Chains A and B, each alone.
Chain A
Amino acid sequence: MNISTVLTKRSVVGGLVILILLIIFITLPLYAPAYTVILLTAIFMYIVLTVSWALFSGPTGYMSLAPAAFFGVGIYTAAILGMKLPLIVVIVCGGFFSFFLALLVGALTLRLRGIYFAIFTFGLVMLIAYLLLFWELHVTGTRGRFVIAVGHNTVYYIMYGNLVILLIVAVFVRRSKFGLALRSIGENEDAAAHTGVNVTLVKIVTFAISAFFIGTAGAVMATRWTYIDPFIAFNPLFSFMPVLMAIFGGTGQLWGPIIGAAIFAYLEEFLITRFPYYYMLIFGIILVIAILYMPKGLVGLIQKWRKGGGVV
């Protein structure tokens, strides 16, 4: 139903482009080299992280630095359950564990506003990492775990499916009254509450939905890495990257985070292979410049050029 409304509302050309992209990405592993498939998997992963982050933090303005926690939960789910259950079940489990963690964290912390929420969510990532490390050192007596490896194409398809489902959810949220409620929270939370929006519920549910997709992405990626430990799984970089990518792209439109993530993910790959020692440095410079000169991201820049383009 949603896809059809998307297609009728946008021009037929837009629909066709989406369809062609869908087909290209579905058939890609049949003819593209393995390197392309792996690169696209990484790009899809970043798009999933970024779009999920923007789903909640974009409209509400609550800057979550928790993605790495949800991503890590997904990774550890894959590591622990991977041997015992079928892959798809493992991945869905990864999503649900993240979902429930987000429900819990959300219920506890979403009353914190502004910078406190950002600090708290970041603390969460490090707390889980340190506790897990302690657990592994003292209870299980091992450091790190092995994850069952899965073929490139399987990983690609699962990540792709995850991304498509996420995008459908994201479009649905943006166009539904739920999306309107999210925006109203970002604009003025008090006024939203007094206009009948159950702000707590809307925030927690959206936070958890966004965590679900980050968790599934983690579970999928774990099968690529084969070896993980707490600091690989709960790497704070996976909290920062989605934020940077989303801000770089701009959170005003759905395609902002997508483009931002695609560009950054490709850039990461490019820089890591060419300038392995300078890539984080170049990243930092791009980030500072982006914040200084395009505070509304690529979306804002393009809209400025078009000037007054149809914003609904």
Chain B
Amino acid sequence: MIMKIVDVLICGLLLGGIYALIAVGLSLQYGVARVLNISHGELIMLGAFGTWSLYTFFDINPLISLVICGPVLFLAGFALHKTLFKSLLKSSGSIGAFEGSSLLACFGLLFIIQNIAITSWGADIKGYSYLSVPVNLGGAIFAANRLVTLAFAVGIGITFYLFLARTRLGKAIRAAAQDPAAAGLMGVNINHVLALCFGFGALMAGFAGVLLSMCYPVKATMGLEYTIIAIIVVVLGGLGSIPGSFIGGFILGIIGSIVSYIEPSLSLAAYYIIFILLLLVKPTGIMGK
């Protein structure tokens, strides 16, 4: 019995690490840039397909793909904000209006990216096998790739947190999240910071996609599910809070793992129920004010 519990908990942590990473990216994009990026999952999918392609066609190690797919997606996100979202921000009268129109624009991006993926990679499920050797962890057996994934997810998360907390740029980002107008007055180039945040969000999505592709099958339509999970985690942790996203990710991962153990087909429904209850009881999330 105890073995089972440990097993379920560790599975939850493994899942939670990925969820946290996905959520940090979304949180950054919404919390600072005010874009609820519903196409976040598509960027994850791109990261995953990129890794799959590099591995299958060029025999490139997935862990090396991290430094290929991540920066490419960062540039894509940065460019997207510099063009699309910047001009939306200019034409919107208020932040509320911008949130609405940018959400719709993201729906457009979702359709565009997903269908480009379908036409270039096909609609069927792809996968590859990397580091799938079993590892014995306190009696429970896990695939090595899962543990590597968890380690990288946590490592990336901590690095990013330190970046936000310690560096000049990180402080500018946090200032912009608190109060864009005041940050602008203090000499922060706000448009640049917002674009960087969007880029970092895409970077996180890319990392998550690379790591996911090591453990799970890849599919052109996989994005929306991860977007939804990311939204749930972000709301759970409090919009815009990086530690909140991490805590929320692990909580959701563990809950998901428990529910899957009892009844696999209900795990997404369980996420929704948590999400809906949370929105009703404390819409600002566990780390929100």
A residues whose Cβ falls under 8 Å from a Cβ of B: 61, 63, 108-109, 112, 114-116, 118-120, 123-124, 126-127, 130-131, 133-134, 137-138, 236, 240, 243-244, 247, 277-278, 280-281, 283-288, 291-292, 295
Interfacial chain A residues near B266, Cβ < 8 Å: 130, 134
Q: How close is A112's CB to chain B, nearest CB, in angstroms?
A: 6
Distance between A127 CB and nearest chain B CB, rounded to angstroms: 4
Cβ–Cβ < 8 Å partners of A240 in chain B: 107
A144 to chain B, nearest CB (A): 15
Greatest chain A CB density within 10 A among B99, B232, B268 is at B268
Tell me the complex Cα distance, A229–B207, Å: 35
Check B103 against A287 for contact (C-beta < 8 Å). no
Q: Is B110 an interface residue when CB atoms closer than 8 A count as contact?
A: yes
Residue of B nearest to A292 (CB): B87
Chain A neighbourhood of B265, CB < 8 A: 130, 133-134, 137-138
Are A292 and B88 in contact (CB-based, < 8 A)? yes
Contact A247 B99, beta carbon cutoff 8 Å: no
Q: How far is the CB of B237 from chain A (nearest CB, A)?
A: 14
Q: Is the CB of A291 within 8 A of B105?
A: yes
Interface of A is mostly: helix
Tell me the chain B residues, 43-101 only, with Cβ under 8 Å from chain A: 84, 87-88, 91-92, 96, 99-101
Docked-complex contact A118 and B280, CB < 8 angstroms: no
Is B191 positioned at the interface, with any CB of A under 8 Å from its CB?
no
Q: Which of A114, A127, A280 contacts B273 (CB 8 A)?
A: A127
Query: With an 8 A cutoff between CB atoms, is B111 at the interface?
Result: yes
CB distance from A191 to the nearest CB of B (A): 15
Contacts A134-B269, A278-B115, A284-B112 aside, 17 further interface pairs with beta carbons under 8 A come to A61-B100, A109-B279, A115-B99, A119-B279, A123-B232, A123-B272, A123-B279, A126-B228, A127-B272, A127-B276, A130-B266, A277-B119, A280-B111, A280-B114, A281-B119, A284-B110, A288-B109
A127 lies within 8 A of B269 (CB) = yes
Q: How many Å lie between the Cα of A131 and that of B273 in the bound state?
A: 10
Q: Of B104, B115, B228, which is within 8 A of A287 by CB?
A: B104
Query: B119, A123: Cβ atoms under 8 Å?
Result: no
B235 CB-CB contact with A under 8 Å:
yes
- By a CB distance below 8 angstroms, the chain B residues around A236 are 224
Could you jot down 29 A-B contacts, CB within 8 Å?
A61-B100, A63-B100, A109-B279, A112-B283, A115-B36, A115-B99, A115-B103, A116-B283, A123-B276, A123-B279, A126-B228, A126-B272, A127-B273, A127-B276, A134-B265, A134-B269, A240-B107, A244-B104, A277-B115, A278-B115, A280-B115, A281-B116, A284-B110, A285-B108, A288-B109, A288-B112, A291-B104, A291-B105, A291-B108
* B27 → chain A closest CB, angstroms: 13
Contacts of B119 in A (CB 8 A): 277-278, 281
Q: Which residues of B contact A295 (CB under 8 A)?
A: 91-92, 101
B275 contacts the other chain (Cβ, under 8 Å)? Answer: yes
**Chain B nearest CB, measured from A297 CB (Å):** 11
> Is B231 engaged at the interface, CB distance under 8 Å to the other chain?
yes
Kindly list chain A residues whose C-beta atoms are within 8 Å of the C-beta of B224. 236
Q: How far is the CB of B236 from chain A (nearest CB, A)?
A: 12
Pick from A114, A119, A131, A243: contact of B269, CB below 8 A. Answer: A131
Q: Which residue of chain A lies nearest to B39 when distances are taken between CB atoms in the complex? A: A284
Q: Which residue of chain B lies nearest to A130 when distances are taken between CB atoms in the complex?
A: B269
Contact yes or no, B276 A288, CB < 8 A: no
- CB-CB under 8 A from A131, the residues of chain B are 269
Say whether, besides A115-B99, A134-B265, A284 and B279 are in contact (CB < 8 Å).
Answer: no
Of the residues B99, B103, B235, B268, contact of A130 by C-beta under 8 Å: B268
Tell me the bound Cα distance from A236 to B107 in angstroms.
12
Task: Tell me the bound Cα distance from A188 to B44 in angstroms.
Answer: 38
Residue ID in chain A nearest B96 by CB atoms: A114
**CB interface residues, B 115-143, toward A, < 8 Å:** 115-116, 118-119
Chain A neighbourhood of B116, CB < 8 A? 281
Q: Using A115-B103, A131-B269, A288-B105 as known contacts, say yes or no to A281 and B279 having CB atoms under 8 A apart.
A: no
B231: chain A residues at CB < 8 Å are: 119
Nearest neighbor of B107 in chain A, beta-carbon distance: A240
A278 to B115, CA, bound (A): 7
Q: Closest CB of chain B to A264's CB: distance in Å?
A: 13
Interface centre among A118, A119, A138 (most CB of B within 10 A): A119
